[in-house]
Structures are given as C-alpha cells and as structure tokens.
Structure 1
C-alpha cells in the first residue's frame, strides 16, 4: 500500500525532506517544482511508513486504502505523474544551509506582514540561527490569506497555521499586530532596531479589466468578495447584489472557482465552516442559480489547476456545464495535447472538461458554466450592472505562446453581479523602490535592489511582493528560504548594520505610537474567543469581523482573571 497526495497539497515540500526513500516529486531543487500544481508520491517506491503524512501541514496525504470517493482519483494522478517523470536518482547531495558563527551575536530581523511568506521566513530564521524576529501587520490578526483568502470549504488548507502556532510559541518571535508600518512606525525606525527588515506584504490590490462600465454598482473584484465572505474587517460592510439569477466571473483561476463554489453550494454546507456570519446570511437569501466563468483563452490554457477543477464534480446540487463546441482545438493546440511529452496535468484538465461536457444536467440543480475564448468588452446598465458584453476570441501564436485575439463576434449576458478575478497585483511599499510594470519590489533572489542597481543594505522581500502573485501557500516556504539564505549570508559577511535599539526599546516605541497593539497574548485571546463562539454549532470558529470587537477580545488578555 502506498500513500497518496491529494487536492489539498500546498506545495511547501515539508514532506519531501521527511521521506526516507526520497519518492516524492518534484523536489524544490528540480526545475518543474516552480510550476507544479501539486506534489506526487511514487506508488512503486513508497514503503508505507507514513512519515510524509505526519509532516504534511495541511492534511493532504492519505493511505490509498482510506481515500474517500472524492479523492480516489488521486491514486491514479500520483501514479501517472511518474509514468511521465520516472523517479530517477534519489538522495542527491544537498548543500547544508549556512549558519552564522555564535560570536556574531543574535541576528534581529523585522518582518512586515504576517501571512504565509512572512511566517515561513520567521520559522526559517528561528530554526537556522535562533534569530529574534518581530512580525508587524496592520490587521489585528495574523496569517494573511490563510485567514482572509482560503475558501471556507477548504478547512484542511488552513491547518498550515498550526505549524506557525507551534513554531512561534517561544519568545524568539514577537507579534506586533494592528500596527501599520509607515504610519505607527517608519522603515527607518525598524532599521534602527534590527539588522534587517524583510517585507512579505503580498499583493494587496487586483488587476482591472479596463472596459467601460467597470465601476458600475454591481461590478466588483473577486478580491473584495473573497475578503467579505472570509470576514476581513476592512470588507465586512460590503454589499453584493445576489438578487438576480446569474452572476458572471471574469477569469477562471482557482480563486474564480472558489467564488463560484461559494455562490452555488447550499448554505447549509457552509454553515459548519468559518465563513463570516454576514456572508452566510446573505447567501441564504441569494437567488443566484447560475455562475458563468469567462476565460480569455482555451481549455488547454485555463488558469485553474486540475485538482480544483476536479473537485467541482463532487458538489451536491451543482452541475458543471461546458459546451462540447468550446472544447474544439485548433491544430496547434491539438498537437500540444497529442505530444507524448504533454504533461499529465494538462491531459487531466482537458479530460475533465470533456467529462463535464458529456454529463447530463439536472434542471433542478444550480449551474457553474465555463465559457472559453471570451474577453469582456463592456459592462452595461443605467445606474447599476444589468449585463456584460464580451467578444469571442481566437488563439494566435506569438513568440511561441498562445495568445487570445478578439474577433468581431460579440455576445451579451444579462446579470446583476460581475466579479473580476484576473489576478492579484502588488502595491508600492513606502520607502522602497517599486516596479510598476510587474507589480513587485525589484530584487535579486530576495535582496531589494535600489535605483543604482545595487542591493539596499539590510532590506529584503519574500512572497508575492518578491516574485509576483503566483504559486500556492506552500510555494512561499521555498521562496522564503531563498531570501533567508541571502540575509544570513549578508549577516555572516558583515554587510548588515548592527541595531542600536533593542527589543525592549522597540516594544516601548510601538506601545507609545499604537496603544492598541495586539501582541501574541492578544491574538491568542481573539483566537480562543472565536473558537469558543463556534463550539456550540460545531464550527471551527465564528470570526470577529469588526475592528473594535477584535480589539475588545484582545484586551481581555491584559485583564487579570
């Protein structure tokens, strides 16, 4: 019997290092790791020891004989990967990570952001050299998109926070939540108190479509909608019109699929999750019966991953609708699919699309409809969204890439809700250079590069603000390890300026500037209050979605019992 990696895989590769027979691929040092949808276990080599399952931070690995019906297909998906990528040599030599000599003293690092990239970096610094790390975030709660971005019906993905909670139990990592860098404390002041400052602020804005009517009421970014149903306090008061029968999502990546699921599954199925109460109430009153996803290119270029696309098959009361005509491939795409070197992920996505196209729809079910080769040209309505117009595209080959080109064939769909899900975008960070074209802070493997083309001493980046909004939660582990490797190397080489302020002085400064700072004890009080509120109904937590309520809960940690 072998173990099997399934849909929840976060790609953080913790399991790779734990496997005693090195049968998990791709490894972080392999070229295909950067684009892999998930990791895979070779069933012919696995010795059924369970070390990988114990190490997995998101509970994505199971013995093959315990796979549920919705996960059973992953047995073949794992095996198929190794038919295309034979295991080959194992136990390649790995260069030991650099550890600073003890006589250099304690490395002090400030990390701006509290999402996965920040937490992986903090854990790496803690394990690598016992560094003192201070985490700053403008929200009263940590974990970034794990808390505010992961769909509520994916609770397994959120268990990665247990890894961070466990790693940060000691005093080596300090929390300064509800503190905004640039407002309550400056970059220069952080540099005074630390050897280095590492920014892991993600990609907080989103791309726009640039079409007429995009700003009409009823047209929103999927970023807003996701933050709303996940209880982000800055978005809790948003209102989305769910009174019509149809919603249209522009884009077909995994975030678009998350939104489509939330809009179509029974609210009863969401009632046991950590979805925000205000969102659950709105979804119970929703009239939406159909969600249409508009994809710019064809089924081979669709942005969703195979595992997330496959999971739609197991939604109760929801049909996935694809027109067989939309799956017709031009000669170039057909050649790509028929090429023996075509990856199993590509074949899986197309095979799934064919299966959905061949399914018989139930008139009583809600519908998720995929439309390929479409680009919005305008959103129409007198004082709010009433319809969306889109052009049908054709694929052209440009510099070896399949690009979408609009034709003169135009179609219009009636809808009262349009959600654009065409990608996150990084926002400029105060006091740091910024690449407007790419939406990232310019850097070389994590070292921030100044206008003169040289690294800025002591300033680093990790996560989406470093590489752009791509990859999944676990992708940040390898990314953060790279940044930390260079930060530690600079410390050892004497390139970092020693801080003149210590931890006590920093805490005093933060307390003076922001009396409502939430420390680790304050966050724990929030966490316990939310969990206690969810216990009567069997929910993991009931999120506090108001800033004042969050701070009130945090203050209970300062009141003697």
Structure 2
C-alpha cells in the first residue's frame, strides 16, 4: 500500500483521513472520499464495538428495507483503503488533537447522542421516557438495555408528531406476530407481550399542516391490523382549501388525515370495530406544561397541556398558548421532540444553542483540517438520503482542500500507526471490521434459531468476549 503512495509522479504521500463515527454520515463521507481519490486512506473510529449507528439502533425493526444501506457500508469498510476501529471513544480514549497530529484531515460525524428535554416539572417521574431511550431499548442500543419501561397502563402519550413518534406508536400497538419476525430485541418483545397499552395519543404543539411525519409512515399506522385510528374531524375543518396550493407531499399527507378523520365505519365494520381493542389518535395544538404525579408522588398519571393557537402560516407557524388548559390521563409518556448533539472535545468549537459544530460547507470554523458531517453538522433532521447528500458535500470540501493544497500532504502522517500505539499505552483494544463480522455472524445465527433476521447482542462485554478481547 505505501509503495503505491510513494510512486514518484505524485511527489507526496497519500492523504490519511480519519472519520469519527460509523453511522450513515461517517460511512457516506468515507465512501465519497475513497471513490474520488485513488490514494486516500480512510480510518473510521466508533465508540461502540459495532458499526452503523442509527441504521442499526434507530431504524424501526419492522422497516428492514431501510437497513439495506448496510450492504453499501460493508462494501466501503472492506475496501483495502478503509479501516474500522470500534470500541474507541474519541474525546476520552484519544483526543481530537491527537487525531489531528496523526491524520491530514479529521471529519467529525458522531451524530446526536442525546435528546432534547422539555424542561417542565415532573419530567423525571417514573413512566416518563425520552423517545431516544425507548427506541434504543427496543433496538438493542447497549446504553438503553436496562431501561425496563413500565407498560402496565392502558393509555400512552407520545409528545411529538414526527416519524420517530409514529414508529413508537406502531411498535406499542403492533400485533406480536408482526414483531416476532423482526430483529427487535428479545427482552423488549417479552415486555411488549405483557404490555397493557391499548391507546396511544400523539400530541403536538401545532396543527395538522405542521406535522413532521411522512405519508408512508402515516399510511402504515392507519393500516395497522387490530387498531383503529381516532382523528377528530373538527381538527381538519377548512383544511382542504388551505392545502390547495401546498407542495404535493404536504397536500397528500393532509388529504389522507382528512379522509381518515371523516371515514365512518359501516355497520358490519362497526361490529368488527367493537372487537378492536386498540386505538391511536392525533391531538393538535397542545403544549405540555407539567407531568402530573400519582398521589404518592412517584409515577406519572397524566400531563397538563396548554391549548395553543397558531400565529403565521405553514411550516413557520408558531404555537402560542391561549391560556386554556386541559389534563390528559396516561401512565406512560414518551417525549419525541428531537435528538441533540453533544460537544466531543474542548478543542472543538461547539454551538450549544443549536447543538451543532459551527462550520462552512463542513469545514469547522477556525480549525483548519477539521471537518464535520451529518447531524452534528446541521442538526438532527432528515432521513438517510439527506445525510448522504450532506456527507458527500463535506467529503467534497475535503477533496477540494486536498487538491488546493490547503491540506499539506507533503508531510507524511502515521494515521493508525500513531493512534494505535497511544491506544495500546492506555489499555484500549480496538475492534476491527472482521471482528464485527464475527459478532454479526453470531447475531444472525442466534436469530435464525428464533426465526428472526438476527438476535442483537446488547451487552458490549459479551460482544468483546465473543471476539476474544
């Protein structure tokens, strides 16, 4: 490999580039650099032993088709110019400064590993969870494996009108036979089998024209067997006219909600409906003010909501409290109001207000040779395709800086050669991609025995034992 680099006509050594984070942003950044630079070497660092970030830990278990991008990422990781180092926490095991010494360029793609908080009284009561922790729990994210959510109540309230909120509602209400065939974790499947939840409300501060979920997810929820949508026709009065000139996706989404709200079950259907024990519905223009505790003060029994009115139109409409309140009874509250990135290292500038690294086209402000991509670059919004395009943009900035001489590749950098010895001296043993493939094979074998695509290992220690670490 190095012989290729020192080929005389290049007159300089190969660029060695480091990517921090192995989710979609990290892998797409690496893919684009490797594709458009014949000599670049890319090393990907990941704090967990296992790769793929939110594709593994965020995508709903009953959406396996979304996980097909893992094939592309695997292809990238197997390239002879790419290496994966799992089980390495940047900012703790190795600093960003040390990575900058070892690489020509460092790209931070570590995503959003925290959640936004409501900042209201009672948020820490038992029975109140962040959507991020709940999704992590049923998807096998190691840090959430001991969540043990209490599903002993009949009514759950999800705060938020995005796709994650719909994912959670669907998982709570799905027939168990649906879930048994997915890669949902064994312990969450057992908990859902015992669940008493039969009503799920999704509440948002704004109206039907501002919901953030997409039509595919809504349709899936409407068609979920054994459940009945409960939408109030009054919430949709006059909206047909309001959406006439809206962009097509918004128009179709609103029309589907209106149709669902107005559908009257026929008599025969009504009798069948009576047998349907499960319901879900959307509540609009309600802003949570306080989680209400049970008499012993330990658990949540409901949420006090401020009713709101909208000022402004479309996506920019603001929810303003009217002064009226209502209480909604529920024994489970899931807050799905967005993920949040955290600062990684004191050496990296961070905008705490917006939860992003300040940057221009992925170039970190004031720190030459440092870049960012994905949610830590532009905030936790968008789907995998959005992240892909965004990561390609950052990768393009790196390639331009290589070509324009902004990154000095005349000085050779040791890359993992240097980082590996620092990690060894600190007792850190990285996990390679072939190590991951052993973990992967074990998960698939365990899943096969249970008739599932895989049974995820949720304990990092068990992962490391499996590969002889």
The alignment's TM-score, normalised by the length of structure 1, stands at 0.77
- How far apart in 2 are the matches of 1:199 and 1:442? 12
Determine if contact 2:244/2:251 at 8 Å carries over to the other structure. Answer: no
Determine if contact 2:104/2:413 at 8 Å carries over to the other structure. Answer: no
More off after superposition, 205-214 vs 507-516: 507-516
- How far apart in 2 are the matches of 1:334 and 1:532? 51
Determine if contact 2:341/2:375 at 8 Å carries over to the other structure. Answer: yes
**Secondary structure of the structure 2 residue equivalent to 1:159:** helix
Determine if contact 2:14/2:41 at 8 Å carries over to the other structure. Answer: yes
Cα 1:528–1:399, aligned 2, differ >3 Å: closer, same or farther?
Answer: closer
Residue of structure 2 in register with 1:193 after alignment: 102
Determine if contact 2:127/2:331 at 8 Å carries over to the other structure. Answer: yes
Residue of 487, 492, 507 corresponding to 2:403: 492
Deviation at 1:502, TM superposition (A): 4.3
Determine if contact 1:114/1:200 at 8 Å carries over to the other structure. Answer: yes
Residue of structure 2 in register with 1:23 after alignment: none
Residue of 113, 116, 125 corresponding to 2:33: 125
Residue of structure 2 in register with 1:21 after alignment: none
Residue of 283, 286, 302 corresponding to 2:211: 302
Determine if contact 1:179/1:514 at 8 Å carries over to the other structure. Answer: no
Select the structure with the greater relative contact order (CA < 8 A; seq sep ≥ 6): 2
Residue of structure 2 in register with 1:168 after alignment: 77
Within 5 A, what are the aligned runs for 1:409-420?
409-420=324-335
- How far apart in 2 are the matches of 1:520 and 1:377? 47
The yes-or-no answer on 1:530 pairing with 2:440 is no
The alignment's TM-score, normalised by the length of structure 2, stands at 0.91
- Unaligned 5+ segments in structure 1 are 1-100, 451-455
Within 5 A, what are the aligned runs for 1:2-41?
none
Residue deviations 1:71-111 (CA, integer Å, cap 9, x gap): xxxxxxxxxxxxxxxxxxxxxxxxxxxxxx94443111110
**Secondary structure of the structure 2 residue equivalent to 1:549:** helix
Residue of structure 1 in register with 2:244 after alignment: 338
Cα 1:375–1:552, aligned 2, differ >3 Å: closer, same or farther?
Answer: same
Residue of structure 2 in register with 1:407 after alignment: 322
- How far apart in 1 are the matches of 2:26 and 2:449? 33
Determine if contact 2:45/2:86 at 8 Å carries over to the other structure. Answer: yes
The yes-or-no answer on 1:367 pairing with 2:272 is no
Determine if contact 1:388/1:412 at 8 Å carries over to the other structure. Answer: yes
Residue of structure 2 in register with 1:239 after alignment: 148
Determine if contact 1:392/1:409 at 8 Å carries over to the other structure. Answer: yes
- How far apart in 1 are the matches of 2:35 and 2:167? 34
**Secondary structure of the structure 2 residue equivalent to 1:412:** strand
Residue of structure 2 in register with 1:350 after alignment: 254
Residue of structure 1 in register with 2:137 after alignment: 228
Deviation at 1:140, TM superposition (A): 0.8
- How far apart in 1 are the matches of 2:10 and 2:216? 46
- How far apart in 1 are the matches of 2:284 and 2:368? 47
Residue deviations 1:447-469 (CA, integer Å, cap 9, x gap): 0003xxxxx11100000000111
**Secondary structure of the structure 2 residue equivalent to 1:184:** coil
Residue of structure 2 in register with 1:108 after alignment: 16
Residue of structure 1 in register with 2:3 after alignment: none
Residue of 353, 356, 359 corresponding to 1:437: 353
**Secondary structure of the structure 1 residue equivalent to 2:143:** coil
Deviation at 1:266, TM superposition (A): 1.3
More off after superposition, 490-499 vs 110-119: 490-499
**Secondary structure of the structure 2 residue equivalent to 1:539:** coil
More off after superposition, 458-467 vs 513-522: 513-522
- How far apart in 2 are the matches of 1:493 and 1:408? 59
- How far apart in 2 are the matches of 1:346 and 1:503? 48
Determine if contact 1:511/1:517 at 8 Å carries over to the other structure. Answer: no
Residue of 293, 297, 303 corresponding to 1:388: 303
- Unaligned 5+ segments in structure 2 are 1-8
Residue of structure 2 in register with 1:57 after alignment: none
- How far apart in 2 are the matches of 1:518 and 1:492? 32
Determine if contact 1:462/1:479 at 8 Å carries over to the other structure. Answer: yes
Determine if contact 1:323/1:357 at 8 Å carries over to the other structure. Answer: yes
- How far apart in 2 are the matches of 1:207 and 1:358? 35
Residue of structure 2 in register with 1:470 after alignment: 381
Determine if contact 2:155/2:330 at 8 Å carries over to the other structure. Answer: yes
Cα 1:287–1:399, aligned 2, differ >3 Å: closer, same or farther?
Answer: closer
Cα 1:399–1:314, aligned 2, differ >3 Å: closer, same or farther?
Answer: closer
Determine if contact 1:192/1:499 at 8 Å carries over to the other structure. Answer: no
**Secondary structure of the structure 2 residue equivalent to 1:202:** coil
The yes-or-no answer on 1:202 pairing with 2:119 is no
The yes-or-no answer on 1:319 pairing with 2:228 is yes
Determine if contact 1:318/1:367 at 8 Å carries over to the other structure. Answer: yes
**Secondary structure of the structure 1 residue equivalent to 2:328:** strand
Residue of 331, 342, 353 corresponding to 1:427: 342
Residue of structure 1 in register with 2:6 after alignment: none
Deviation at 1:499, TM superposition (A): 4.6
- How far apart in 2 are the matches of 1:217 and 1:491? 52
Determine if contact 1:104/1:492 at 8 Å carries over to the other structure. Answer: no
- How far apart in 2 are the matches of 1:138 and 1:514? 15
